[in-house]
Amino acid sequence: MISFPKEFVFGWSQSGFESEMGTPGSEDSNSDWYIWTHDLENIVSGLTVEDYPENGPGYWGNYESYHKNAVDMNLEVMRTNTEWSRIFPKPTTEVKVDVEVKNGCVTYVDVSESALKKLDQLANKRAVEHYRRIFNDAKERDLKFILNMYHWTLPTWIHDPLAVRRGMKTEKSGWLNIRTVIEFIKYVAYVSWKFDDLVDMYSTMNEPNVIWRNGYIFVNSRFPPAYLSFDCANIVRYNLIQAHARAYDILKSYKKPVGVIYAAPYIMPLTESDKEAASRAKIDYIWFFFDAIVDGKIDEEVRDDLRGRVDWIGVNYYTREVIKRLKNNRYTIVKGYGHYCESSSKSLDGRPTSDWGWECYPEGLYNVLLEFWDRYHLPMYVTENGIADKEDRLRPHYLVSHLYQVHRALQSGVSVKGYLHWTLVDTYEFSIGRSMRFGLIYVDYATKKLYWRLSAFLYKEIAENKAITDRIEYLVQESS
């Protein structure tokens, strides 16, 4: 038996946009992702698929069923987010707050009690009240609750991704505009003010590195605004760092742990001669952000207002990225490994791949956890780990083999506090729609009925025993 500590928690993660819509009255048409997925030019060009979020799994209306299934699975913790566009479908720019901005640096934002009351007048009360019902139901079932503030979607009054994609000048440029940092802090202050009594831990945002890389560099990834510009990517990265730090300041006033959740593939070289390039890729994609919020180091300067702005790190791990050096100190990601394989096949390394073409590489999770621990020595949660596998063919091995790597990290002295699977129920996966099914539970999208996959029973056994039990330990090595 491979046992985990008694205090180690098992749970699941999900996001608002991907899970909420699907039942009558659940539609939220006020986010950038909503208009992005409905845009005809995007659909025709292949930037999105003709599949719409309002046909999603229906958590907004069926949250009680989700929570009951989670408790039946012996899960202890959930992570989800409020949707900014649901809370504030209309602009909050008229609400004045105390702000210090110096040379593009947002060093201070304070949202007073009077400002919060003004925000309360602008908020969508029906959405606020419904979120309270959802979160209260989770707490009544003794689920620990991690409230994440931001999972990729922005209100349309602050981001018009179609205008940005077309190269049009617009004030609604999302994270390219420093005002988004300030408006985000208003939103964070309001949400925490309304829901803190139900929250155990906070996360400021989910995978900010995906926002700047997929939106402005890997534009074929179908993420808004699909505007190719390294300069824009750097601006967005900088503003997201500032947004995290200022959100941390607000949330920390509630005396609860505040973290950030980050996409963390294991970045490795193709050959020995590619080691330096892989190190550079790791700095660009991962360490740049964390060096800023841990040590205050950013663009060859040290900012005290950024330093020490994280209590815990959420690691989202799915697979690896293999790096090859190019000329002029550049690098590229090698196709045939990691996220860049053919679906339901084998990688160039002979490893199985998911329905989405993501390579199964469990040992990368151990390496990522060890690297974070050695560099920052901060406690971690694995906040996402899962596989698109409609037939549940690979998920049993994927689940157990990755949990084994978490156990290895614990044995190596790494502080890992819990594991949250992505995800409990199949979701609408942003730009790819409903075709990629990550759920432990299958959802019939027509009826919204939920059916346990075999891997759900497997996860239940692990969570119930806090262990990979003897009768399933063989799955650590099995890979077919």
Helices 59-72 and 125-140, interaxial angle, to 10°?
Answer: 10
Tell the residue number behind the tokens 């180091």, with chain if given. Answer: 297
Active site residue 301: no
Q: The tokens of 358 are what?
A: 């993501």
Asked whether 188 and 133 are in contact (CB, 8 A), the reply is: no
Q: Give the residue among 349, 420, 447 at the shortest CA–CA distance from 73.
A: 420
Q: What integer pLDDT is reported at residue 478 of this predicted model?
A: 61
Torsional class of 430: left (φ above 0), alpha (ψ -120 to 50), beta (otherwise) = left
Interacting residues of 34 by C-beta distance below 8 A, sequence separation 6+: 17, 28, 53, 85, 153, 156
140 is catalytic: no
At 409, the amino acid letter reads A
Q: What is the pTM of this model?
A: 0.98
How far is the C-alpha of 296 from the C-alpha of 241, rounded, in Å? 10
3-state secondary structure of 298: strand
Confidence at residue 480, expressed as pLDDT on a 0 to 100 scale:
41
183, 321, 384, 429: which one is catalytic? 384
Q: How distant, in Å, are the alpha carbons of 219, 230, 261, 267, 369 from that of 376?
A: 31, 27, 15, 17, 11
Helix, strand, coil share of the chain (percent; to 5): 45, 20, 40
Cβ atoms of residues 216 and 173 within 8 Å? no
Instruction: Identify the residue whose tokens are 């490795």.
Output: 268
Q: Which two tokens stand for residue 284?
A: 């660009």
- Active-site pick, 18, 20, 76, 207: 207
Provide the token pair at 442. 């299958």
Give the pLDDT means over successive 10-residue stretches in the chain (480 positions).
Answer: 98 98 98 98 96 98 98 98 98 98 96 98 98 98 98 98 98 98 99 98 98 97 97 98 98 98 98 98 98 96 98 99 95 98 98 98 98 98 98 98 98 99 98 97 98 98 98 81
Kindly report whether the peptide bond that precedes residue 423 is cis, defined as omega within 30 degrees of 0.
yes
